C-alpha cells in the first residue's frame, strides 16, 4: 500500500510538471528550444512566470531526479512530498487558466464622441482622475485617444482667450494630427500573457503602447469594456 501511495504522488508530480511544460510551450514565444528551463528563462517577460521562477527551477531539478531514478515504467525510487505535489498541481492550474486581460484592466472605460463637449471631459477627470479617453466618431468607431496632457496644452494655448466657453468647445477641436498614439484592440477573451507579449514586442522595437482597448471581439466599432496601460501591468505584477 505504501508503494502505491509513493507511486501515485510521483506520477501526480510528473503529470503536473508536463502540464506546466505544455503551457509554457504555448505561451512563450521565440525561445531557443522547447526545453523547460529555456522556456522559463525566455518567458520572464511575463510577470506570472517571473513570480514562479524559483519554484519552476526547483520543479525542474526534482523532475529530473524523479525521472532518472525511475526503475521501470510507473515505478519511482524518488518521491516528492505531498505538499510539493499539491503546490505544483495548483501552479499547473494557474498556468492553464491565466488571468484574463479584462481582469487587470481599468473598467468601466470613460470614452467620448467627437461631438461631446470638453467641459464633460473635464468633469470626468475631476470625478474619476482618469488621464486617457478613447474618442469615437458619429459612426461609433474609435478614431483617436485624448489624453490629459493634450487637454492641458489646449487650455494653456487658449488661456488668454476671454471669449472661450468650455461648454461650447467640442472634443474634436482637441485633435492633434501630429500626435500619434499607439492604441491596439484585443477581444475580451484575451489572456494577460497575450497582453504582455504585445507590450514586449513594441518595447523590443523601442516603441510605446499607449493603451490597449478591450472590446467584445477586438473591433474598433465596439464599445470598450476595459483599457490597459503599462501602469496596469505594473500594478498587476505588484499585486502578485
33 and 68 inside one domain: yes
- Residue 205: which residues within 8 A CB-CB, separation 6 or more? none
Of the three residues 98, 126, 141, the one that is the final residue of a domain is: 98
Q: How many residues does the chain have?
A: 240
Backbone angles phi, psi at 52, to 5 degrees: -105, 15
Confidence of residue 73 (pLDDT cuts 50, 70, 90): low
Host domain of residue 26: 2-98
Q: Distance between CA 34 and CA 25 in Å, rounded?
A: 6
The pLDDT tens digits for 120-151 are 999 999 998 889 999 999 999 999 999 999 99
The pLDDT tens digits for 26-46 are 999 888 899 999 999 999 888
Which strand (E) or helix (H) includes residue 146?
strand 142-147
21 and 119 inside one domain: no
109 and 144 inside one domain: yes
194 and 94 inside one domain: no
Which strand (E) or helix (H) includes residue 6?
helix 2-27
219 and 197 inside one domain: yes
75 and 118 inside one domain: no
At 48, list the grid cell: 506570472
CATH of the domain at 150: 3.10.580.10
Closest CA to 196 of 100, 63, 119, 87: 100
- The alpha helices in 28-168, defined as continuous H runs, are 36-42, 47-51, 53-68, 82-96, 101-104, 118-128, 148-157
Give the per-residue pLDDT at 77: 61
Q: Distance between CA 88 and CA 28 in Å, rounded?
A: 19
Of the three residues 98, 114, 143, the one that is the final residue of a domain is: 98
The CA-to-CA distance between both ends of the chain, in Å, stands at: 40
Q: Parallel, antiparallel, or unpaired for β 132-136 and 112-113?
A: parallel
User: How many structural domains does the chain have?
Assistant: 2
27 and 110 inside one domain: no
Amino acid at each position: 500500500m505504501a508503494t502505491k501511495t509513493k507511486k501515485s504522488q510521483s506520477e501526480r508530480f510528473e503529470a503536473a510538471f508536463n502540464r506546466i511544460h505544455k503551457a509554457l510551450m504555448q505561451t512563450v514565444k521565440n525561445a531557443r528550444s522547447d526545453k523547460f528551463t529555456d522556456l522559463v528563462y525566455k518567458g520572464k517577460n511575463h510577470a506570472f512566470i517571473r513570480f514562479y521562477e524559483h519554484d519552476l527551477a526547483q520543479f525542474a531539478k526534482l523532475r529530473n531526479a524523479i525521472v532518472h531514478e525511475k526503475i521501470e515504467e510507473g515505478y519511482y525510487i524518488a518521491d516528492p512530498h505531498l505538499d510539493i505535489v499539491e503546490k505544483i498541481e495548483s501552479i499547473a492550474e494557474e498556468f492553464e487558466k491565466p488571468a484574463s486581460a479584462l481582469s487587470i484592466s481599468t473598467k468601466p472605460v470613460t470614452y467620448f464622441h467627437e461631438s461631446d463637449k470638453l467641459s464633460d471631459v473635464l468633469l470626468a477627470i475631476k470625478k474619476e482622475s482618469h488621464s486617457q479617453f478613447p474618442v469615437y466618431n458619429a459612426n461609433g468607431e474609435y478614431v483617436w485617444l485624448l489624453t490629459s496632457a493634450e487637454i492641458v496644452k489646449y487650455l494653456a494655448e487658449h488661456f488668454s482667450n476671454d471669449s472661450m466657453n468650455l461648454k461650447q468647445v467640442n472634443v474634436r477641436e482637441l485633435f492633434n494630427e501630429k500626435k500619434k498614439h499607439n492604441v491596439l484592440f484585443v477581444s475580451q477573451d484575451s489572456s494577460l500573457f497575450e497582453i504582455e507579449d504585445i507590450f514586449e514586442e513594441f518595447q523590443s522595437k523601442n516603441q510605446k503602447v499607449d493603451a490597449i482597448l478591450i472590446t467584445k471581439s477586438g473591433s474598433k466599432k465596439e464599445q470598450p469594456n476595459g483599457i490597459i496601460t503599462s501602469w496596469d501591468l505594473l500594478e498587476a505584477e505588484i499585486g502578485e
